[in-house]
Structure 1
Amino acid sequence: MTPRLLDVFAGLADAEPDAVVLYDADAGRSPVRPVSRRQLRDLAAGMAEDLRAHGIGAGDCVGVWLPNWSHAVAAQFAALAVGAHVIGINTRYNVDEVAHVLRMARPRAVVIAHDFMNLDLGRVLRAAREAAATEPPVCLVTTAPGAAPASPDEVAAYDVGGGASAFPQASGGGELRPCPVPGLATAFTTSGSTGRPKLAAHGEPGMAEHLVAAGERIGLGPGDVMLGALPLSGVFGFVAAMAAVFSGAAVALEPVFDAEGVLTDMVRHRVTHVIGADDLLGRIERAWQDHPAPLPLRWIGIADFEGRSRQLAAWAEREFGTTVAGVYGSSELFALTAFWPRRYPPELRWSGGGQVVTEAIEVRVADPVTGETVPDGAEGEMQFRGPNVVDAYLGDPAVAGEVFTEDGWFRSGDLGRLVAPGTVQYLCRIGDVLRLRGFLVDPAEIETRLAAHPAVAMVKVVGVPGGDGGTIAVAFVVPYGPSRPGEDELKQWCAQTLAKFKVPSRVRLIDEMPTTSGTNGTKIRAAALRELALREGV
């Protein structure tokens, strides 16, 4: 029988109520506040009372627009208690991204961070609400753990038409019971072929089975500490933290990623487990080289975004005796869908993919054109079914018809091969998406924004290697008429509505696009643009 997550946590809290489950740190790195299981349960119970008082219940959506604070974990618990589902909103999102979330998820409440890193999230929310033209949510305003609450006037300033109140107001302390009928539990944004992210939602039964299985397969338990440096609003940060919490381990939360500060916290809290991409691990490794320190790292799950995972895996295993395993997952399949067991040799174990975390997850490899299953070891599209697979797409249920095969398998869009039953090696994305600072970004999203500029006639965005080894976005623009907008003007145009990491590193003006004609029409030759960008030293 699938466990209810709040029942799992209640068992842990009853057994050891004073055990530390989270470490809160503010943006200034001090003070660090340990949060016990009892305190987290009380905080979540108070939040659940507040949600009910605002009429939030079964089937409703709650936007959680917070950094990595204990409040974000508690808000997910509170949503489970009232039968609502959470859509995480990254604090780096700008107007367009937030408006899209509001339009698709229709949250009845938004839990919003007050006075975080001088970000005016209230201004962004007001502009996004106007752009989305949706029913206004109630704004539930919270401050950093341990900080003074917002004043009544500051809280009122967040009202976008649905009311605003401090959060939580209820003292909590009561029982935190799961909603009798489980429904959707959490959703994550993911890039899509249209240039607009999809909102992939998972039900509580599948989420519960996956988190418990992932924690068990990793070997997490009391005394272990997971690094919580990836945003909880994203699938990798969420699964890493929640798998630790429901396995009895603790999580060292990092609301702001400062490599030296994160390294200090890793030493202070004796972090044993890390899950992240090579961009995150690379920054930690550089900080460690400047300030070497003993780290009790037992296990690292690594994803290769910048081509450095093997180098970093060798460093961690050499310096700390850590087991490093390549991982696989996505917003639609959950992070840690698979990772490599220790028995595999490093040359395979450090690559993406691995063994699925529970036998309930099935995987096959099929020809992406014909849909026919290919022989073991042959390359094709990895397809999945099981409790980890997306249950719904918020705001666009028709998407499911596009991503599932006729016989019910989820089409990942990833190229891979079957190594053994339930074990796959990930090779690459079939599509032409970009990895920008660790985020999966569809070039069409940037292109759509640039194309909206009145002086832009045609645009194409490509990814090329940057100076730091990561991928950077380069936009090629054919101007409209005699007007020739400058590079800085077009970058600023993008920055008005796109998150900073989506703003192209370079914008190059050209007279015409290189094209090729085929049976399906004339296409822009993206490869030629990449070559041009590399030739010119972009």
Structure 2
Amino acid sequence: MLDGCTARCQSEMTEYRQSGYWKGELLGSSLRRWAREQGKRTALVGSRTRLSYAALDAWADRLAAGFQAAGIRPRERVVVQLPNIPEFVAICFGLFRCGAIPVFSLPAHRNREIRHLAEIAEASAIIVPAVLRGFDHRAMAAEVCDAVPSVRQVVVVGEPGPGQRALAEMDLPGSEAGAPDPPGDPADVAFFLLSGGTTALPKLIPRTHEDYGYQLRAAAELCRLGPDAVYLAVLPVAFNFTWGCPGVLGTMEAGGTAVLAGDPSPETCFALIAQERVTLSSVVPTVAHVWLEALRDLEPPPDLSSLRVLQIGSAKLHREVAERIGPAFGCRLQQVFGMAEGLLTMTRHDDPEESVLTTQGRPLSPADRLTVADPVTGRPVPDGAVGELLTRGPYTLLGYYKAPEHNARAFTADGWFRTGDLVRLTGRGELVHEGRVKDVVVRGGDKISAAEIEGELVQHPAVRQVAVVAVPDPLLGECTCACVVPGGRPPRLVELKRMLLERGLAEYKLPDRLEVYDTFPLTGLGKVDKKLLVADVQARDAARVPG
């Protein structure tokens, strides 16, 4: 699990324990502690469910017993693909309690992604909803189950398909009485998050009980959360941002209440903010932009008076949008830079306004270590210059799962993680994100591998050559543009989208636009010059605008 870990890393791990960053607690035991401390206080709110800490704790025990009875053993991996419903939280803690390891998947993932996750994790089970937004996840899971030998069963939240099991069957009444403490070591992997699409398919990021427990405590403290905190989970709960920055789990660590939104629409979320007296939420710039536009049209205006902080991260937040957040929502803006691999930086409540508007703040932990290096030479750049961010710290991964070749590139010889992000540091130590070394499109917070989409599009008979680039977009931050040299009749965008859907790709990965070329500009090394392509796409856009 600890690919890339050196003796120096082991020394740092000992330091994290001795310094108190790592407390030696299993996440399954954390919920037990929260239930003892908070009892009947509300922990979790869904569309039809309100759960106290005690009730959530008991539900997790019953599910753990059900999973064990179904043959799920300690250290087995289980792919969990669910929307923002209380079952997601209860299932994860049930798996923690029986020593199994959840592998998080997004609701938007389809056959290609789920099969990849099941194969690389050698998953023994897949847990899915029955039907979500018109898509039958049971049928997809059945296909994956047939294709991946390790997958023995499919568990469905709702009505199961043929040969599948309903989650309700796993909820064993009475099994919560005298439930044993969870098995395992706090240094063990607790769950797997997914990399953000910097390669063709996501890699698995092992997060341990100790490192994630520290992240929750530190994020909750930085955000000044207490028992009066009410967190609205708008983005998918399987995102690191939503799960623990401080997110759902950090809020519960502080004794507060987590509210799960079924969708990110202003109608849904504004109603929940008013009804549940939400104090904190986290969104991507795209969602913030949609919410801002909705506020202009709503009469009477929604009651957002309880909202204290709106976190925005996962994509570039332009200053003109940042300046509108406070006045529009009557709350503080908190900019966040982070990654599922670990490092988080955040602006603080007492930071100067200019810092909040223009930077992504300072590292979460005093033990976080950052350096900015030249992406080619690896040497540190001068103070204030742009370079690749390298990091290490008490909640940053030591290696991707089953990826030795990738780890050899992703880590320096002495254990620094190469993030692939271009940044600069201000004189106050604040991070400013300037772009990426890696070839990805950050579309509304979703990271899309250009190489993956190119590899699929080139299979279309009308496509001779393709390059996928990120083009600035006022709503999404970046949109996905497929630049194509056709082989005969140029394809239409709708044809390309249809083919990608048929090949099992998630909808968010589909190109937003298509540009046709006779030839591509090349670099001196004979590679497609994507910088020139982006400039040409923007020039085409400017030429189309009436003068």
Answer whether TM exceeds 0.5 for this pair. Answer: yes
Is the 8 Å Cα contact of residues 196 and 445 (structure 1) preserved in structure 2? yes
Q: How does 1:413-432 map to 2 (within 5 A)?
A: 413-419=420-426, 423-432=430-439
Partner-residue secondary structure (3-state), 1:125: helix
In 1, Cα distance between the equivalents of 2:359 and 2:120?
31
Letter in structure 1 aligned against 2:156: V
Partner of 1:516: 522
Match of 1:179 in 2: 183
Name 2:143's counterpart in structure 1. Answer: 127
Deviations 1:353-377 (A, max 9, x none): 3222222322222222222233443
Report how far residue 515 of structure 1 moved: 2.8
1:33 pairs with 2:42: no
Find the partner of 1:6 among 6, 12, 28.
28
2:113 counterpart of 1:97: yes
Residue 342 of structure 2 is aligned to residue 333 of structure 1? yes
Q: Percent identity?
A: 27
Q: Mapping of 1:325-404 within 5 angstroms? A: 325-333=334-342, 337-404=344-411
Q: Distance in 1 between matches of 2:402 and 2:135?
A: 28
Choose the corresponding residue for 2:323, options 285, 296, 314.
Answer: 314
SS at match of 2:133: coil
1:71 CA displacement: 0.9
* Residue 491 to residue 357, structure 1, CA distance change in 2 (3 Å): same
Conserved 8 A contact 1:278-1:303: yes
SS across alignment from 2:499? helix
Which sits farther off after the overlay, 109-118 or 220-229?
109-118
Q: TM-score, normalised by structure 1?
A: 0.88
Distance 1:176 1:386, change over 3 A: farther
SS across alignment from 1:415: strand
Q: Using the alignment, how far apart are the partners of 2:476 and 2:32 within structure 1?
A: 45
Q: Which moved more, 1:238-247 or 1:293-302?
A: 293-302
Task: Extract structure 1 runs of 4+ deviating beyond 6 A.
Answer: none
The alpha carbon displacement at 1:201 in A equals: 1.6
Q: Tell me which residue corresponds to 2:222.
A: 217
Q: Say if 1:33 and 1:126 are closer, same or farther in 2 by CA, change over 3 A.
A: closer
Q: Distance in 2 between matches of 1:392 and 1:281?
A: 33
Q: CA deviation at 1:301?
A: 1.8
SS at match of 2:116: helix
**Pairing of 1:66-215 with structure 2 (within 5 A):** 66-129=82-145, 133-143=148-158, 150=159, 155-157=160-162, 159=164, 166-171=168-173, 172-174=175-177, 175=179, 177-182=181-186, 183-215=188-220
Contact conserved, 1:338 with 1:355, CA < 8 A, in 2?
yes
> Is contact 1:359–1:422 with CA below 8 Å preserved after alignment?
no
Q: What is the count of residue pairs matched by the alignment?
A: 511
Amino acid of the structure 2 residue aligned with 1:173 = E
Structure 1 position 67, deviation (Å): 0.4
Tell me what 2:8 maps to: none
Question: Relative to 1, partners in 2 of residues 1:354 and 1:486: Cα closer, same or farther, differing over 3 Å?
Answer: closer
Cα RMSD of the aligned pairs, angstroms, is 2.4
Q: Note the C-alpha offset of 1:303.
A: 1.9
Say if 2:198 and 2:439, in contact at 8 Å, map to a contact too.
no
Q: Does the alignment pair 1:24 with 2:26?
A: no
Deviates more, 1:425-434 or 1:258-267: 425-434
| Partner residue of 1:268 out of 275, 284, 294 | 275
Distance 1:377 1:534, change over 3 A: closer
Distance 1:179 1:522 in 2: 55
Q: 1:166 Cα shift?
A: 4.5
Relative distance call for 1:353 and 1:367 in structure 2 (3 A) is: same
Report the Cα offset of residue 517 of structure 1.
4.7
Give 5+ residue unaligned stretches, structure 2. 1-19
For 2:211, give the aligned amino acid: G
Take 2:515 and 2:201, find their aligned partners in 1: how far apart are those partners?
Answer: 24
Instruction: Tell me the secondary structure at the aligned position of residue 170 of structure 2.
Output: coil
Partner of 2:131, secondary structure, is coil
CA distance in 1: counterparts of 2:169 and 2:458, whole angstroms: 40
What TM-score do the two structures reach when normalised by structure 2? 0.87
Contact 1:364 1:384 in 2 (8 A): yes
Q: Deviations over 1:156-205 (max 9, x none)?
A: 4264xxx7764533124334733242311122222455422222121111
